[in-house]
Amino acid sequence: MKAKSKPARKGILGGGSWIVDQVKLVDTFPQRESLANISSQYQGTGGAPFNVLLDLAKMGVKFPLAGAGLIGKDALGQYILDECRQNKIDTKFLKATKAPTSYTDVMTEEKDGRRTFFHMRGANAEWKGEGLDFKKTRAKIFHLGYLLLLDSLDAKDAKYGTRGARLLANAQAAGLKTSVDVVSEDSDRFAAIVGPALKHADYCILNEIEAGKTAGFKIRQPDGSLDTVSLRHAAGALLQQGVSELV
């Protein structure tokens, strides 16, 4: 008898930063110890897996969508679960913990739309990928983000460099393609945290600032212009660091 072949993989499993954005429209961004007036506010999705999966669901894609990570046992965590269930996003790998659900207060200035962010890492900081068994998913792609904003996954790993890199390696070993996304921050942590993950990434999604900091190139010039030569060199360097298919 012929052995039964496994069904083809399809769909996306998104893991990492589950965030609720609390967006507040303000008349001005105040100096310290001063006051600003909030004219309106609304709540929305934030974080790599939440945004990607919900956007794809709203677009009406026909392939399966699933999420993985940690949320709190609170109103914001319930909001995330409700949004996922209403949009047919599988939440079996999205677990609840005692830490609060991660959120960001987004202060948006009415005059020019400039935004200032106050972020609570909350439950996201505790997620190590534990309990995420890639053999129990038929997803084709594992999308992980945001590196640099997932404290436990960004921590060092003796074999792979970081726990995030280990998680990506496990996904590839199970037959999934891997995709990574990064948060923009003004630091020198990119090489140490993003670098190890690139060795186990099929697809790497970065803006020009993140690409430059990871690869060691200055892509934005002081006047704001884009150095396209440095941009191409940075993309090539990222491929040389291990990304197998697409930067």
In this predicted model, what pLDDT tens digit does every residue of 110-137 receive, in sequence order? Answer: 999 999 999 999 999 999 998 899 999 9
Q: What is the mean pLDDT of the chain?
A: 95
Shortest CA distance to 91 belongs to which of 61, 54, 128, 42? 54
Average pLDDT over residues 39-43: 96
Residues 6+ apart with CB under 8 A from 100: 72, 74, 76, 120, 122, 123
**Pairwise CA distance, residues 214 & 195, whole Å:** 7
Q: What pLDDT score does 131 carry?
A: 86
pLDDT at 4: 65
Query: Which of 18, 13, 3 has the alpha carbon at shortest distance from 138?
Result: 13
- The mean pLDDT value for 158-162 works out to 98
Cis preceding-peptide flag for 146 (omega within 30 of 0): yes
pLDDT tens per residue across span 198-244: 999 999 999 999 999 999 999 998 898 999 999 999 999 999 999 99
Asked whether the whole model's pTM tops 0.85, one would answer yes
Residue 142 has pLDDT above 80, yes or no: yes
DSSP structural state of residue 226: B
Unique residue bearing structure tokens 């999705």 = 45
Examine the pLDDT at 5 and tell me if it is beyond 80: no
- Cα Rg of the chain (Å, integer): 19
- The confidence score (pLDDT) of residue 3 equals 60
pLDDT band at 6 (very low <50, low <70, confident <90, very high): confident
Confidence of residue 2 (pLDDT cuts 50, 70, 90): low
pLDDT above 90 covers what percent of the chain?
92
- 89 three-state secondary structure: coil
